[in-house]
Amino acid sequence: MNPNSPSFLTVLIFLLLCFQTSESQNFLRRGSSLSAEDNSGVLTSPDKTFSCGFYGLGGNAYLFSIWFTHSRDRTVVWTANRDRPVNGQGSRASLRRNGAMVLTDVDDTVIWMTNTTSTGADRAELLDTGNLVLKDRHGKILWQSFDYPTDTLLPNQVFRKSTKLISGVGNGTYASGYFSLYFDNDNVLRLIYDGPEISSVYWPDPDFDVFQNGRTKYNSSRIAVLDDFGSFSSSDELKFSAIDMGFGIKRRLTMDYDGNLRLYSLNKVTGSWMISWQALMQPGKVHGVCGKNGICVYTPEPKCSCPPGYEATEPGDWSKGCKPKFNRTCSSSLTEVKFVGVPNTDFYGFDLNYSQTVSKEACMKLCLDDCRCSGFSYRLTGQGLCFTKSVLFNGFKAPNFPGIIYLKLPVSVEASEPAILNGTNPVCRLSKSQIVIGSASMYDTTAKRVRWGYFYWFALAIGAIEVFVIASGWWLLFRRQDVPSSLEEGYQALSSQFRRFSYAELKKSTKSFKEELGRGGSGAVYKGVLADGRAVAVKRLGDLHQGEEVFWAEVSTIGKIYHMNLVRMWGFCSEGRHRLLIYEYVEKQSLDKHLFSSYFLGWKERFKVALGTAKGLAYLHHECLEWVIHCDVKPENILLDSEFEPKIADFGLAKLSQRGSNSSQFSQIRGTKGYMAPEWASNLPITAKVDVYSYGVVILEMVKGIRLSNWVVEDSEGQEAELKRFVREVKRKILFEEEAWIEEIVDPRLKGNFNTNQAATLIGIGISCVDEDRSKRPTMDSVVQSLLECETESEIHITDDH
């Protein structure tokens, strides 16, 4: 046979593939074992995402683990006994005849085993989910690795009251560290630093109570799960989503060695991980990173350091913290003890006493007179705030922190301030408070890969190597066409724009909040110009009684909503009490100014605004990832750009201010009198139909050119809304088929320059939208449909009009 002939090649490839498939299996039979020595000792999940076997730590040390096959650094998601690596030679992971899966070291010591002895376990199998399961002959699962997570939770892996995610000790080091995620006794999911000497809960924000943090204590099921879509939900009402939420992306939720809990998404192309959510947005919020007495210094590279008078307990292991270089005395005489101040620094928690409006001297006296006091924190912001500390823990130094920590030291200790805080170890590194978002390429490849994968097999089966080549060509071609470049660019632009701003930055860009654009229920809006030249509208929110993470979660949801008829949110700021939202600046102010004051809006523009607003609302109600009810649709919230394209403002804020009260129920009436649907007054649940009602009022006002939402007093029937009277009048006119009724209704300022058909449609829609019975109101989707139909019609007949 000619070795160059296609059929020869085909056979060769086929044989190679057969060899490969027989090599990577996903199960282990009873009585067989895996070893580190030969490379065949790896189980691979059917879709090849996960591998299970001996994972080399370098040298001759191995762990029996499950890892992502295709991530660049083969990310480990589970380990049998993470604290005890085994020898590369002679170690085995076996499914013994008695049904137990056992890991043994070279000298046959049992390092780890499952409790499945004499249960009839027949095979160990690695599933596509990354779960290693032991099954009996009938396929019943007797044991699963999902019940024993280490530091990582995979999608569909249920997190329960008995489980914990425990961090590793360092980057790429798998032994158990001190940070964990767990369900606390009060049913709340928390992060804790649980070190050798001290433990300290640091998430959710300990400065707020459970409800302010958006959680609940009253569901004792203590269960949480991350789904395939990238949404995490827990029985304590913690809910968050990956910023790239959607199917087909590999994710993991990991308790990182630096104490932060992060959700990662795998970039299939590069094999690298991107952070798609994280529990703590600011460095310095994780506790215990530098141990007792240690300080995490951000200057700007975060490092561990010891305060004056202290030295590292064990250089190289910062979890042990710093120890005093002196013997503590209980003296309260300033001849024996002194206080050394370290600026911009604090130790969180462990307060002996907290007092307000005290002088520094009084605060010092409190610490001096208390034998347990090892220092005090003093802040001059507002009045003097004084915290006396029993234990120095969770120390951090950040350039913008407005307080000073004063350490109580014996007079004899030499401690000059500048000599200190020379960070020695970059262990307390936290990523900056940035959201890193995957590129668009993460979205497109999965499904297509699978389909074309079948195609390869088909091509091989019919034994035509040429087809193979053509198929590859096609694949490349199609793959390139799959993502329209504009979409990709759009996505990237979108992702790079949403970010966190600092208060100082906003203060500067708004010239200290000089130019006020408007003021609404949720706060005042100011004009600003960012450093990159973009004009923005900065909204200062009033008091929101909620923790930072809740705020961040809500805001990032709003930040992801993008539609041409919605005002784009570019970012937010959350610092101390300040909560601000940064929006694109829309040129031509709000619709009310154009309708009800000296400006004038022509018919074409009015129709455009009606249609665009409907599109924006339809998107909020039906299309965007998290459905949003606006709750305050009115001309003041419809902004016009230079082309008179409307953009709806303030969407999503209803939800923001609703938190703190119970879950998603609207307990508090929102909206503006005159535009509010009648069900706000009754006890009915609030649905998207409240927006449909408000929209109806707005379009009727646009047609009529006056405010119908005003309350008027009528002589005969007492108080009645202008709107009701108007609707009655129109219905009567239609009923009696009065001629030229439309002309009588439409804004006389238009002087007859309008499209009759469009006007009739708008009036019809408007009236059905403001129906008292909400089930008779149309949906925004159908409104858009009707308007689109008469929009095109108008283009044809436009010259017929008057």
Ligand X SMILES: *[C@@H]1O[C@H](CO)[C@@H](O)[C@H](O)[C@H]1NC(C)=O
Residue placing its CB nearer to ligand X in the complex, 49 or 278: 278
Strands 395-397, 295-298: pairing kind: parallel
Q: Interacting stretch for ligand X, rule CB under 6 A, among 114-122, 483-491, 684-692, 695-703?
A: 114-122
**194 is a catalytic site residue:** no
- Name, in order, each residue with C-beta under 8 angstroms of 240's C-beta and a sequence gap of 6 or more: 231, 232, 263, 277, 553
Q: Interacting stretch for ligand X, rule CB under 6 A, among 112-120, 560-568, 609-617, 655-663?
A: 112-120
Q: Is 267 in the site for ligand X (CB under 6 A)?
A: no
Find where tokens 């065949």 sit.
Answer: 40
Which of the residues 307 through 326 are near ligand X (CB under 6 A)?
326
Residue placing its CB nearer to ligand X in the complex, 222 or 630: 222
Q: At what angle do helices 756-769 and 603-618 cross, to 10 degrees?
A: 40
- Closest approach of Cβ 55 to ligand X, in Å? 16
Which of the residues 140 through 199 are near ligand X (CB under 6 A)?
171-172
Closest by CA to 328, choosing from 386, 390, 378, is: 390
DSSP assignment letter at 614: H
CA 766 to each of CA 289, 610, 729, 774, 783: distance values in angstroms, whole numbers, following the listed order: 60, 10, 14, 13, 10
Q: Interacting stretch for ligand X, rule CB under 6 A, among 115-123, 644-652, 682-690, 791-799?
A: 115-123
Q: How far apart are CA 680 and CA 687, in angstroms?
A: 10
- Closest approach of Cβ 369 to ligand X, in Å? 10
Q: Interacting stretch for ligand X, rule CB under 6 A, among 111-119, 331-339, 513-521, 531-539?
A: 111-119
- Closest approach of Cβ 782 to ligand X, in Å? 34
Per annotation, catalytic residue among 632, 650, 691, 771:
632
- At residue 559, φ and ψ (nearest 5 deg) are -60, -25
- At residue 346, φ and ψ (nearest 5 deg) are -150, 155
C-beta of residue 287 within 8 angstroms of C-beta of residue 184: no
Instruction: Output the six-digit token pair for 592.
Output: 């009310």
Q: How far apart are CA 629 and CA 635, in angstroms?
A: 17
Neighbour-count burial for 775-788, b at 16+ CB within 10 Å, e otherwise: eebbebeebbebbe
- Closest approach of Cβ 330 to ligand X, in Å? 14
- Closest approach of Cβ 217 to ligand X, in Å? 12
Residue placing its CB nearer to ligand X in the complex, 429 or 568: 429
- Closest approach of Cβ 172 to ligand X, in Å? 6
- Closest approach of Cβ 290 to ligand X, in Å? 16
Burial group, residue 619, by CB count within 10 angstroms (0-12, 13-18, 19+) = buried
Tell me which of 32, 87, 89, 115 binds ligand X, using CB under 6 A.
115
Residue placing its CB nearer to ligand X in the complex, 379 or 479: 379
Tell me which of 75, 91, 116, 556 binds ligand X, using CB under 6 A.
116
Closest by CA to 538, choosing from 616, 649, 672, is: 649
Q: How far apart are CA 564 and CA 640, in angstroms?
A: 11
Residue placing its CB nearer to ligand X in the complex, 89 or 359: 359
Q: How far apart are CA 692 and CA 657, in angstroms?
A: 21
- Closest approach of Cβ 386 to ligand X, in Å? 8
Residue placing its CB nearer to ligand X in the complex, 215 or 704: 215
Q: How far does Cα 656 stand from its chain's mean position?
A: 15
**# chain residues binding ligand X, by CB under 6 A:** 17
Residue placing its CB nearer to ligand X in the complex, 172 or 748: 172
Task: Write each residue from 59 to 98 as x if it is in contact with ligand X (CB under 6 A), else as -, in one continuous string.
Answer: ----------------------------------------
Which of the residues 390 through 449 are near ligand X (CB under 6 A)?
419, 422, 429
Residue placing its CB nearer to ligand X in the complex, 232 or 552: 232
Give the neighbor-by-neighbor strand order of the sheet with 239-241. Answer: 159-160, 223-226, 231-234, 239-241
Q: Interacting stretch for ligand X, rule CB under 6 A, among 74-82, 113-121, 185-193, 675-683?
A: 113-121
- Name, in order, each residue with C-beta under 8 angstroms of 333's C-beta and a sequence gap of 6 or more: none
- Closest approach of Cβ 203 to ligand X, in Å? 18
Residue placing its CB nearer to ligand X in the complex, 236 or 632: 236
Phi and psi based region of residue 384 (left: phi greater than 0; alpha: psi -120 to 50; beta: remaining): beta
Task: Write each residue from 338 to 357 as x if it is in contact with ligand X (CB under 6 A), else as -, in one continuous string.
Answer: ---------------x-x--
Burial group, residue 715, by CB count within 10 angstroms (0-12, 13-18, 19+) = exposed
Residue placing its CB nearer to ligand X in the complex, 306 or 648: 306
Cis peptide before 204 (omega within 30 of 0): yes
Tell me which of 39, 185, 327, 481 binds ligand X, using CB under 6 A.
327
- At residue 477, φ and ψ (nearest 5 deg) are -60, -50
Residue placing its CB nearer to ligand X in the complex, 25 or 156: 156
- Closest approach of Cβ 135 to ligand X, in Å? 13
Which of the residues 214 through 253 are near ligand X (CB under 6 A)?
219, 221, 223, 235
Q: In this structure, how many other beta carbons lie within 10 angstroms of the beta carbon of residue 612?
A: 24
Closest by CA to 759, choosing from 787, 800, 729, is: 787
- Closest approach of Cβ 418 to ligand X, in Å? 8
- Residues serving a catalytic function are 632
Chain residues that interact with ligand X, rule: CB under 6 A: 115-116, 119, 171-172, 219, 221, 223, 235, 326-327, 353, 355, 366, 419, 422, 429
